[in-house]
Structure 1
Amino acid sequence: MQEGSGLGELGLMNRETLGDRVTAELRNLLVAGRLAPGEKLSLRKVAEAVGVSMMPVREAVSRLAADGALEVLPGRAVRVPVMSLVQFRELTRIRLVVEGFAAEEAARRAGPDDIAGIAAHEAAFRSIASADEPDTPGAVATNRDFHFAVYRASAMPTLVEMIERLWLKAGPILNLDMRAERNRLKGGSAVQAHAALLAALRAGDALAAAEALRADISSAARHIEGTGRLRTED
């Protein structure tokens, strides 16, 4: 009896791999704050940029829409959700608890290599912020790199995964913090919070690390609310 060939599975495997790849690319853009609230996405342009067909792009959009990171509008248009004030405050409260806990654990567990990596990201962010003409997209991405270097130092992969899901929603809204106003960067509150967090990690002070991290989130949240660009209705 002739055994069944596995060749028919190759197409499915390829589509799944491409779908994962597109999902990862879009997740990175969202988490890094490279996509703004309300921004519409052209699936065709996404496919061209990544070098794939439309099928894996649609699969990626479906996954991210299920996570609430993208929304599909009537007519199959896709956009980054526009967060309401109520939703933003809820997200901020959750981030304060979850990311604050990650900072505590990082202070307890971070090794020399972790600290060195975090310090490099802190220095890079400080350099961008102090420039005469700050590179705001670079600041948003470097801020992400700094935060996730801290979270990975907690040595709790499940916790980091949870935070990544939070940042799928938080990343775009950070556009309203750093991208909207260059003076916000030069004001230095994020720089000060990052420096305080790095110092706490070096000292192994879990409570101070959590306090610095929460101060960073709270300062950004106050500024974002102050822009008046969040929806006031649900």
Structure 2
Amino acid sequence: MSTTPLTSAPRGKTLSGHALSQLKELLLSGQVMPGQLLSLRTTAEAMGISVMPVREAVAQLVGEQALEVTPNRSVRVPILSAEQYTEVTNIRLELEGYAVQQAALIAPTSLIARLRKLNARLAREMEATNPDSAAVVMLNKALHFQVYENANMPLLLRMIESLWLRIGPILNYDIHAGSERTVKKTAYEHHIRLIDALESRDAEAARAALQSDIKSAYQHILEKQYAQDGEARRAGHGS
């Protein structure tokens, strides 16, 4: 499994709406890196549309702080500071924890089956000699959103999506850097506890498992990536 390519707009969907959904998927699935520049022209060509719909989609994502415009008018994926990353994570713990609680109360057997299949695929990818980092991020995202969608709370889902638009690139950065969590299958183990809790409709246990998963990733990235970046910046300034 590799990075999902951009596609042309399906029949019946507006060009700007299609561009927005495609760009969101790149961010949500961690297929772009923090600080990565996005070319409007190249993106438009990949979608088979003009630049204008892409520009409209980018403007909306800039408004959501999922993308940013640099002083020289380039569009790039934001680089969150450690403080911003911590803030987003704390909000995720509350919103996603609540979504999981609600999902646990009504989780059908069909959802449990889908989650176990996704988690098994995630485990196989993590066990591969050369794990496909894009596949790991996308499978993790797919599993989480299967649960959140089952809460049947559209407004809450949109709020969670907005947070993931900002957090997806950081997860991608961590995995591409050779995350120990991939080797140890940490997320897979947390997911097992989450799925078991959903199956037994134990809302509190499901919330605890989900929050443990988020906290584990947060702590690892904070210690490994942000600490390393801080050391690199200090070395670059000779301090």
In 2, distance between residues paired with 1:216 and 1:184? 11
- Alignment pair present for 1:62 and 2:59: yes
My pick for the range that moved more, 129-138 or 166-175, is 129-138
Letter in 2 for 1:76: R
Quote the offset at 1:132 in angstroms. 2.1
> After the TM superposition, which of the residue ranges 26-35 and 103-112 deviates more from structure 2?
103-112
**Deviation digits for residues 16-46 of structure 1 (CA, Å, limit 9, x no counterpart):** 9111110110001100000110000111110
Give the number of equivalent residue pairs: 219
| Counterpart selection for 1:80 from 67, 77, 97 | 77
Shift of 1:201: 0.6
Larger CA Rg, structure 1 vs 2: 1
Task: Say which SS state the counterpart of residue 209 (structure 2) adopts.
Answer: helix
Using the TM superposition, name which of 89-98 and 180-189 deviates more: 180-189
Q: TM-score, normalised by structure 2?
A: 0.87
The answer as to 2:35 corresponding to 1:38 is yes
Whether the aligned pair in 2 keeps the contact of 1:70 and 1:78 (CA below 8 Å) is yes
Q: Does 1:48 align with 2:54?
A: no
CA RMSD of aligned residues (A): 1.8
Equivalent AA in structure 1 for residue 61 of structure 2: L
Query: Match of 1:33, SS?
Result: coil
CA distance in 1 between partners of 2:126 and 2:119 (Å): 11
For residues 85 and 77 of structure 1, what CA distance do their matches in structure 2 show? Answer: 23
Match for residue 151 of structure 2? 154
TM-score normalised to structure 1 length? 0.89
Question: Are residues 1:214 and 2:178 paired?
Answer: no
For structure 1, which segment, 108-117 or 25-34, has the greater mean C-alpha deviation from structure 2 after superposition?
Answer: 108-117
Which runs of no fewer than 5 residues in structure 1 stay unpaired? 1-13
User: What is the CA–CA distance in structure 2 between the aligned matches of 1:215 and 1:177, rounded to whole Å?
Assistant: 18
Distance, in Å, in 1 between the alignment partners of 2:225 and 2:213 is 20
CA distance in 2, matches of 1:213, 1:74: 39
Task: Report % sequence identity.
Answer: 43
Name the SS for the 1:177 alignment partner. Answer: helix
Instruction: Select the residue among 96, 103, 127 that pairs with 2:124.
Output: 127
> Where does structure 2 lack aligned partners over 5 or more consecutive residues?
1-10, 231-239
Which secondary structure does the structure 1 equivalent of 2:72 belong to? Answer: helix
Aligned partner of 2:120: which letter?
A
The structural deviation recorded for 1:187 is: 1.2
Report the Cα distance in structure 2 between the residues aligned to 1:119 and 1:160, rounded to whole angstroms: 22
Amino acid aligned to 2:122: F
2:180 matches 1:178: no
